[in-house]
Structure 1
Amino acid sequence: MLVKAVVFDLDGTLVNSLEDIANSMNMVLERHHFPTHSFVAYQQFIGHGIRDLVSKAIPDSHKNDNFISSFLKEMMEVYSMQCTKNTKMYAGISDLLDSLTAKEIPMVVFSNKVEVLTKKVVSEVLSDWTFYKTIGLTTEALKKPNPDKALQIAQKLGVASDEILFIGDSEADMQTANRAKMQPVGVLWGFRTKAQLLNSGAKYIIKEPMELMKIVEG
């Protein structure tokens, strides 16, 4: 298979942001004397945007649009101040990005994290590499697994969708890749299991970042 571009999810794929996200949401919950959640619980909350995470984290008694919007605002205020405090690249990611750069393969970051924070994390944690595009969430209706932005990426690159690898750690990533006719690659160092990734449409599963180069090189 000829690979002409690579699209990366961010959280759980390039960077481990779990601690900063969990701590921020728990801080908001503590303010309101609500139960907090473990890192393990947040692994399942992550993947569909911060609004969805907030909805899953707050008590059932407060799951309505007004409360969710209010808690989302608080979460964004807290998280924006510490979104790179403990967030770091996963082991092996730097070698992978170096290898893709050396092969002059365009790289894109496509996240369900709010776009301003997606760009902040990329600019501060992944500043050593150049990405063709860094795309985050601007409109709730366009978040993954909606394939529209993925299809726009292919169009702007001038590359056929099936020549693009879509790498992620969540069901939303695998579903987006399939809907956009890209090649879905599930990673096992993120927030989902092998079974979850396969059940949501992963074509490839990799345990270590550099395993991606075997796919790239055919």
Structure 2
Amino acid sequence: MKFKAVLFDLDGTLVNSLIDIADSINKVLQERNFPTHSYEVINDFIGSGLRNLVTKALPETHKDEATIESTFQAMMTNYRENCTNKTIAYDGIMELLDELKSKNIKLAVLSNKADELTKKIGLTLFPDYFEIVMGLKSEATKKPNPAAAIEISKDLGFSTEEFLYVGDSGIDMQTAKNANMHAVGVLWGYRPEEELVTEGAQSIINHPLELLELL
């Protein structure tokens, strides 16, 4: 078996977290008398961390550093309490994880979401599957920087070439390419197929269980 481990993105790949994220940022925006956004618009903001999402969500006239920081802190406070209210695993994910575990494939999560929130969601929804659940610890290591992915590969004891990297965004495909992992783009997430292909997807899947064919 060529691939011995799978590294998953979180939002848009394992879980649909759009509603919880949107509800939190819109509540904070509303409290500050700023315009709120539809789920469709916030969908396009997801992928580069919550601070970046906050920056995109603020009005153009209020993107100064002080406003970004205060809004981000308020968003974190709200989202920390509500990040698992309506966030659910996508159809087929639990079955996929069961199959991978039965084959002794090592599993890990890497997200651009803050580390504490990634761990809370990952370990709440998937308590018995992942060897490592890692979120963003510093802006310097944000995906597509491959440093965290390479760290995970070392911790699990496999070369990066032995990993499938599964994600729903161009940033994920870039991360996989930068880490020398096999880039698998998923079509049930937040980004279109064109973006995944353009950014280097080596495989495209329409349903979680299709990942098993790559093994």
Do they superpose with TM above 0.5? yes
Smaller-chain TM-score bracket: over 0.9
Question: 1:81-103 CA deviation, whole Å, 9 max, x = no partner?
Answer: 10000000000001000000000
Given the two structures, how large is their TM-score scaled by the length of structure 1? 0.96
**SS of match in other structure, 1:184:** strand
The structural deviation recorded for 1:186 is 0.5
1: CA distance, partners of 2:77 / 2:152:
30
Question: In the alignment, what sits opposite 1:79?
Answer: 79
Is 1:210 the counterpart of 2:215? The answer is no
Aligned length: 215
Question: In the alignment, what sits opposite 1:59?
Answer: 59
2: CA distance, partners of 1:39 / 1:169:
17
Pairwise mapping of residues 4-43 of structure 1 onto structure 2 (< 5 A)?
4-43=4-43
The structural deviation recorded for 1:64 is 2.0
The structural deviation recorded for 1:78 is 0.6
Gaps of 5+ in 2: none
Question: 1:11-45 CA deviation, whole Å, 9 max, x = no partner?
Answer: 10001000000010000110111111111111110
Q: Which one-letter code corresponds to 2:134 in the other structure?
A: I
2: CA distance, partners of 1:79 / 1:161:
33
Question: In the alignment, what sits opposite 2:102?
Answer: 102
Question: 1:112-160 CA deviation, whole Å, 9 max, x = no partner?
Answer: 1111111110121112x32110000110111111100111111222212
Question: In the alignment, what sits opposite 2:88?
Answer: 88
Q: Which one-letter code corresponds to 1:60 in the other structure?
A: E
2: CA distance, partners of 1:117 / 1:157:
22
Question: In the alignment, what sits opposite 2:181?
Answer: 182
The structural deviation recorded for 1:176 is 0.4
1: CA distance, partners of 2:41 / 2:7:
27
2: CA distance, partners of 1:149 / 1:89:
23
**SS of match in other structure, 1:134:** strand
2: CA distance, partners of 1:42 / 1:198:
22
1: CA distance, partners of 2:42 / 2:203:
25
**SS of match in other structure, 1:145:** coil
**SS of match in other structure, 1:3:** coil
Contact residue 108 and residue 133 of structure 2 kept, 8 A: yes
**SS of match in other structure, 2:153:** helix
Q: Which one-letter code corresponds to 2:150 in the other structure?
A: L
Moved more, 188-197 or 33-42: 33-42
Over the matched positions of the two proteins, sequence identity in percent amounts to: 49
Q: Which one-letter code corresponds to 1:80 in the other structure?
A: R
**SS of match in other structure, 1:118:** helix
Question: In the alignment, what sits opposite 2:47?
Answer: 47
Task: Detail structure 1 runs of 4+ shifted over 4 Å in the superposition.
Answer: none
2: CA distance, partners of 1:181 / 1:123:
27
Contact residue 97 and residue 129 of structure 2 kept, 8 A: no
